[in-house]
Structure 1
Amino acid sequence: MKILSYIYLLIIRFRNFLYNSNIIKPYRSKSYVISIGNIIAGGTGKTPIIFYLAQFLQSKNYSVGIIAGGYRRKSKGLLIVHDVDKLLTNVEKAGDEAYLLAKKLSCPLLIHNKKYLALKEMDRLFDNDIILVDDGFQHRKIYRNLDIVIVNEKTIEEEFLIPAGYLREEIKNLARADVLLYRDTNRRVEIVNNKDNFNFLTNIKIENLVENNAIVVTAIANPSIFVKFLQDKNAIIEKVFSFKDHHFFSKIEIDEIIEYCISNKIEFIYTTEKDYVKLESYNQNFSDFNIALITIELEILFDNDSMFKNYIEFKLNEKNTTN
């Protein structure tokens, strides 16, 4: 596996050399582009940060568009998930994260596995002040005005690149980022310690918790973290049905979950927002047996929320003054 990781490393180094040397030129959008990414495979909290940023920017009267890859979607090529007014597709065609963002934010959202092609189409169809690129750090075909990278404990501790480890590229390449957002950790990546950085925590909103025994149904990268959040809030978890990240639930799996609930007199199921958009089509199946889906919303808590927002506004104003 380490040999394969070394081959992968050489490919990534050569690819980065082509961009760093300006041999390959990135596509430059007419809009201000903010990339939100990471350098490790698995969940680091990109989707909640994108939602947080988009909501903040919309509150400042910026028109926002979003570009995503539509990971694990059941469609190919370019797809307009949401235009200015409405959703134009379903969760299976869009993928869970892209669909969730489009549904919550009601802004233009386009997906393509080659994100720069989605960005070109976004520029052609819409007039956005700002475009957010989901998982954009490795997508160097796009020029970005602000490069945000999320770092967690796993990023700091990992030594090896894919497939021996989880790193998507060398840790030193964080030097390309403009700002690092450290999630749920006070540790720092020493090699890039001079970077602008902010700390944030992830938490769950507790207003939906019930006193009864419940189960968890989820298909996210780190289900144990979600379960621990619930248990820390004194939720009583009878069982966890955990599936691979981005998994689409089948009717057979739903029937098995319902059967367990009936046998164990469970009336409540906790699930994430990302999972709910895939479970809501089975709402009637659950309600037929008096089983309620309880959607738990994840919230982002910066150590200094106003300072981070001021930083974003400063960067936007900095761009405006240089034009």
Structure 2
Amino acid sequence: GDEPLLIARRCQVPVVIDPKRPRGAQHLFTQHHCDVIISDDGLQHYALGRDIELVVVDGRLFGNGQLLPMGPLREGMWRLDTVDTIIFNQGAADSPVPKSLQPYNPIEMRFVPGELHNVVNPQMRLAVSDLATRGKPVTAIAGIGDPQRFFKQLQQLGLTVGHTVALPDHHAISEDDIPAQTVVMTEKDAVKAAKFAHDDCWYQPISAQFSAQFLDNIIEQLRRIQRQY
């Protein structure tokens, strides 16, 4: 999968894929001696024990409020009352917290875009401003949950986006998806596009930014839990 590989590369930590989450967690504990395990999309996996529950919500909120397949949710809205923290993903802009989330006192998170990396040779870097000064339009490719947010982010950074390619989330990128001109894609897409990319293909990594207080609180929670064990 694209996301597990991306996480393993970016974070340099063991990553396990297992439909049975408790078995995967046990493997991380016994084989890799992990003392902190983060389960992505783990909220509804009730067989997996947990000490901290975090819910991340972005600007799309909860759609029609229905569970799959009638809506986008994997858990009912009632779960918001039971989790430890709700994180509002503002994206690249400082979007205000929606009124529907304000009663939950959410923690705000924003994405900070980094400099561009060459897809073929990731050690090669390029500032977004340097690409913008070329004066030529670029093709933006995104196979993520909200491609338009990525396209808007590139425009806000000064790039002239002449063409956009919005692919389904986790789309298996092929050679046909990559045009000959300058291409900028997400880091998640670059994982799948490396063997098809040409020398003028770039990806933009992003980093999540939280308040120092939130991070300190998480560390303190982990220490408190560790003492209990």
Question: How far is 1:132 from its partner?
Answer: 1.1
**Is 1:298–2:227 an aligned residue pair?**
no
Q: 1: CA distance between counterparts of 2:70 and 2:151?
A: 28
The letter for the 2-side match of 1:246 is H
The letter for the 2-side match of 1:128 is C
The RMSD of aligned alpha carbons is 2.1
Give the structure 1 partner of residue 160 of structure 2.
236
1:166 to 48, 67, 72: 72
1:202 to 100, 103, 111: 111
**Is 1:271–2:195 an aligned residue pair?**
no
Q: 2: CA distance between counterparts of 1:269 and 1:217?
A: 7
Where do 5+ consecutive residues of structure 2 fail to align?
91-95, 116-125
> Partner of 1:133: helix, strand, or coil?
coil
1:117 to 3, 7, 23: 23
Greater Rg over alpha carbons, structure: 1
Say if 1:169 and 1:320 are closer, same or farther in 2 by CA, change over 3 A. closer
Question: How far is 1:299 from its partner?
Answer: 2.3
Question: Relative CO higher for 1 or 2, CA cutoff 8 Å, sep ≥ 6?
Answer: 1
The letter for the 2-side match of 1:215 is T
> Partner of 1:271: helix, strand, or coil?
strand
Question: How far is 1:124 from its partner?
Answer: 2.5
Structure 1 segment 132-147 matched on structure 2, within 5 A? 132-147=38-53
Q: Is the 8 A contact 2:2 2:188 kept in 1?
A: yes
The letter for the 1-side match of 2:108 is N
Q: 2: CA distance between counterparts of 1:156 and 1:221?
A: 14
**Is 1:221–2:145 an aligned residue pair?**
yes
Give the structure 2 partner of residue 11 of structure 1.
none
Say if 1:204 and 1:158 are closer, same or farther in 2 by CA, change over 3 A. farther
Q: Is the 8 A contact 1:215 1:269 kept in 2?
A: yes
Q: Is the 8 A contact 2:141 2:185 kept in 1?
A: yes
The letter for the 2-side match of 1:245 is D
Q: Is the 8 A contact 2:62 2:72 kept in 1?
A: no
Give the structure 1 partner of residue 120 of structure 2.
none
Question: How far is 1:316 from its partner?
Answer: 1.4
Moved over 4 A (4+): none
Q: 2: CA distance between counterparts of 1:119 and 1:322?
A: 19
Say if 1:181 and 1:106 are closer, same or farther in 2 by CA, change over 3 A. same
Question: How far is 1:153 from its partner?
Answer: 3.0
Give the structure 2 partner of residue 71 of structure 1.
none
Give the structure 2 partner of residue 247 of structure 1.
171
Q: Is the 8 A contact 2:140 2:184 kept in 1?
A: yes
TM-score, length basis structure 1: 0.60
Say if 1:135 and 1:188 are closer, same or farther in 2 by CA, change over 3 A. farther
Say if 1:105 and 1:299 are closer, same or farther in 2 by CA, change over 3 A. closer
The letter for the 1-side match of 2:212 is S
**Is 1:179–2:85 an aligned residue pair?**
yes
